[in-house]
Amino acid sequence: GESVGLHLPTLSVQEGDNSIINCAYSNSASDYFIWYKQESGKGPQFIIDIRSNMDKRQGQRVTVLLNKTVKHLSLQIAATQPGDSAVYFCAENLFSGGYNKLIFGAGTRLAVHP
Amino acid sequence: EAQVTQNPRYLITVTGKKLTVTCSQNMNHEYMSWYRQDPGLGLRQIYYSMNVEVTDKGDVPEGYKVSRKEKRNFPLILESPSPNQTSLYFCASMGWVPNTGELFFGEGSRLTVL
């Protein structure tokens, strides 16, 4: 929700530009990395995931890059639109003991200006 | 429509007055989980359930209880709420475990404890 976004780092972009949102993760053993989008007043929504043995994955207007050497994850949004304004969370997913352990980052707020 | 439904969406209560936040999913998911979201801290897991009658503590379980008597329902119980439990709460479900990490979230329940 909006109150969650007030304390977060903000990326401001012009409509039509490309956006890059970055995330550092902590566990080298994580199996998947995921990006979620949270619009104001709503729950997080899955965008895209990437397996740990990949370094790039593309979706519709989004690309996720994984750099395991420096434990860095990024989400690139092409031709950013006003509807992309939201808080974006990265999460790392570790399979352990037969279940999924997801650890979420604090989030980045994306503000798209006309 | 596939969804996770939480109630109530907003609640103001007083210290010590027991309350329950309900969560229901219509996707026949085995895995369900509760998270709390606080400014700058991202999503932190409270409890999760791998299946009916199976529940486990997450990262911040103190002051909360859960139950999983039916597959579709996973209520969150605050026996004696305190002001530090003022937060935004999300219920989520996952289709199968292990999974890439695609959680389906409810719309959130904003709780204020005075």
Secondary element (H or E) of residue B104: strand B104-105
CB contact under 8 A, B98 and A98: yes
The per-residue pLDDT for A1 is: 40
For the stretch A62-83, pLDDT in tens is 999 999 999 999 999 999 999 9
| pLDDT-derived band at B59, boundaries 50, 70, 90 | very high
Whether the predicted pLDDT of A20 surpasses 50: yes
Whether the predicted pLDDT of A44 surpasses 70: yes
Average pLDDT over residues A25-42: 92
Whether the predicted pLDDT of A23 surpasses 70: yes
CB contact under 8 A, B101 and A99: no
For the stretch B70-98, pLDDT in tens is 999 999 999 999 999 999 999 999 987 66
- Which of residues A101 and B92 earns the better pLDDT score? B92
CA-closest candidate to residue B40, choices B6, B87, B72: B87
- In whole angstroms, how large is the CA radius of gyration of chain B? 13
- Which of residues B104 and A98 earns the better pLDDT score? B104
The per-residue pLDDT for A2 is: 41
Question: What is the three-class DSSP state of A112?
Answer: strand
| pLDDT-derived band at B100, boundaries 50, 70, 90 | confident
- Left, alpha or beta for B69 (phi > 0: left; psi -120 to 50: alpha)? alpha
| Residue pair A48/A57 in contact by the 8 Å Cβ criterion | yes
The residue with tokens 């103190």 is B62
Contacts of B108 in chain A (CB under 8 A): 1, 41-43
Q: What is the DSSP letter of A6?
A: T
| pLDDT-derived band at B42, boundaries 50, 70, 90 | confident
Integer Cα distance of B54 and A30 in angstroms: 24
What is the helix, strand, coil percentage profile of chain B, to 5?
5, 50, 45
Integer Cα distance of B36 and B47 in angstroms: 10
DSSP characters for B81-92?
A: --GGG-EEEEEE
Integer Cα distance of A100 and A96 in angstroms: 6
The per-residue pLDDT for B101 is: 81
What proportion of chain B, given as a percentage, has pLDDT over 90? 86
Average pLDDT, chain A: 90
CB contact under 8 A, B102 and A34: yes
CB contact under 8 A, A43 and B101: no
For the stretch A47-61, pLDDT in tens is 999 999 999 999 999
Average pLDDT over residues A15-34: 93
Alpha carbon of B51 to those of A15, A114, B11, B31, B60: distances in Å?
Answer: 44, 47, 28, 6, 20
The per-residue pLDDT for A7 is: 64
Integer Cα distance of A88 and A93 in angstroms: 16
Which of A42, A93, A105 is facing B101, going by the closest CB pair? A93
